[in-house]
């Protein structure tokens, strides 16, 4: 999951309010907005050469409007996503919980302490020179504009005319996308009711575009001033993984496995045929080191993986600790053995005395 919070300095916009995993959030000079959490899912269909990215923001702040910019390799279609998608994906990738017994008592077990513990391991037209507005529509709290741009300055001009400012840093980071002739999805976020603030979980956006290989735009995250965290669900024909770390910690696979019969919101995104689901987590302690976008490539094998959370518990039989039964039984056996040895020695001594008495008799 991607988590960050940036504050805007009063009187000047020195940076995007938030540089998220696959885009940048900007607002006006006197407002501030933070994105507590961004959750994203990537659907890659190799047969049709299409990619879909579904994302959901949880925001807070005092802004009554903001703009979010995402670069995309080709012209994109934007619709509202199903809020239930991420709940279903989290359920599918949830860790497996297993119990694990231990024999000897630990610090919170009797006789060391009272009680016990169950410990868990843890609209088409022109918007000015250099910018083409491919389409524009209202989707819930979003005013979505799908743009093409031939230079970052033109994109900055478009944002300015719509009440936003593009910082010099963001303009510089957009230049590689302009050179590769990427397009943009520019989204104006505004509450559906006038006077309200942008707050809480927003409806997810679903962005679809043609692409010959799956990619998750990450470069703009280098603008962030606090550590970033990426949580990504990838749904494709095979197990997928980032090609490299792009300046962050090594990506960690939290789940990998087939979904034979997708249903609900997952089926709406992928269809009802089998699909392979991979959940990836990655941290970026120093966002300035991010040097590109995530290219998602097929893993060497479709090896399934599910995280296991172990719950340790004291081994008992009928609520009696096995160690106590064992120790008590051992002590009884030792006592019985000692008693038997003493008795055997006593009987043997007695027999020796009897035999000695017989030999000494006249």
Q: What are the pLDDT tens digits along the chain (362 aa)? A: 333 322 222 222 233 334 454 556 665 554 455 444 567 899 999 999 999 999 876 665 555 566 677 888 888 888 888 989 999 999 999 988 888 777 777 766 666 665 444 443 333 334 344 566 667 777 776 777 777 666 666 666 766 776 666 667 777 888 888 888 888 887 776 666 666 666 556 778 899 999 989 999 888 888 777 787 888 999 999 999 999 999 999 999 999 999 999 999 999 999 999 999 999 999 888 988 999 999 999 999 999 999 888 777 777 887 788 777 888 888 888 888 888 888 888 877 777 777 766 655 55
Number of H helices and number of E strands within the chain? 5, 24
pLDDT of residue 358: 60
pLDDT of residue 99: 80
pLDDT of residue 154: 67
The structure's pTM equals: 0.71
pLDDT of residue 319: 75
Residue 216's closest CA among 181, 243, 248?
243
Contact 231, 255 (CB under 8 A): no
Residue 21's closest CA among 153, 255, 208, 216?
216
- Residue entry with tokens 């802004």: 63
pLDDT of residue 17: 39
> What CA–CA distances, in Å, run from 342 to 333, 335, 337, 338, 339?
14, 10, 9, 6, 5
pLDDT of residue 357: 65
Give the C-alpha separation, 338 to 234, whole Å: 67
Strands (DSSP E) along 169-304, which ranges? 183-189, 200-201, 205-210, 215-216, 228-236, 240-242, 252-259, 275-284, 294-298
Q: Cβ contacts of residue 340 below 8 Å, gap of 6+? A: none
- Residue entry with tokens 């934007």: 78
Helix locations, 81-167, DSSP H: 84-92, 152-161
pLDDT of residue 32: 52
Residue 284's closest CA among 5, 3, 56?
3
pLDDT of residue 233: 96
pLDDT of residue 230: 85
């Amino acid at each position: 999951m991607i988590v960050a919070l940036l504050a805007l300095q009063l009187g000047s916009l020195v940076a995007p309010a938030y540089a998220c995993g696959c885009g940048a959030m900007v607002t006006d000079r006197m407002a501030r907005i933070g994105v507590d959490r961004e959750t994203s899912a990537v659907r890659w269909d190799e047969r049709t050469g299409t990619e879909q990215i579904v994302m959901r923001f949880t925001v807070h702040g005092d802004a009554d409007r903001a703009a979010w910019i995402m670069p995309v390799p080709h012209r994109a279609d934007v619709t509202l996503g199903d809020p239930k998608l991420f709940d279903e994906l989290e359920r599918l990738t949830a860790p497996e919980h297993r119990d694990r017994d231990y024999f000897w008592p630990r610090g919170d077990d009797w006789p060391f302490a009272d009680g016990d513990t169950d410990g868990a391991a843890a609209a088409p037209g022109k918007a000015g020179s250099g910018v083409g507005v491919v389409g524009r529509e209202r989707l819930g709290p979003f005013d979505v504009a799908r743009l093409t741009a031939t230079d970052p300055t033109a994109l900055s001009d478009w944002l300015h005319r719509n009440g936003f400012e593009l910082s010099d840093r963001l303009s510089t980071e957009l230049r590689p996308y302009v050179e590769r002739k990427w397009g943009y999805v520019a989204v104006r976020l505004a509450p559906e009711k006038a006077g309200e603030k942008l707050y809480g979980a927003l409806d997810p956006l679903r962005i679809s575009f043609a692409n010959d290989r799956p990619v998750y735009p990450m470069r703009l995250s280098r603008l962030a001033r606090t550590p970033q965290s990426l949580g990504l669900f990838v749904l494709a024909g095979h197990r997928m993984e980032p090609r490299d770390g792009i300046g962050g910690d090594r990506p960690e696979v939290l789940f990998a496995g087939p979904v034979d019969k997708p249903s609900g919101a997952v089926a709406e995104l992928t269809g009802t045929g089998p699909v392979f689901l991979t959940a990836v987590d990655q941290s970026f302690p120093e966002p300035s080191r991010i040097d590109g976008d995530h290219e998602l490539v097929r893993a060497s094998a479709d090896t399934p993986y599910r995280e296991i959370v172990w719950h340790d518990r004291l081994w008992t039989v009928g609520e009696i600790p096995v160690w106590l039964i064992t120790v008590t039984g051992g002590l009884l056996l030792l006592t019985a053995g000692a008693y038997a040895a003493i008795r055997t020695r006593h009987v043997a001594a007695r027999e020796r005395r009897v035999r000695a008495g017989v030999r000494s008799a006249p």
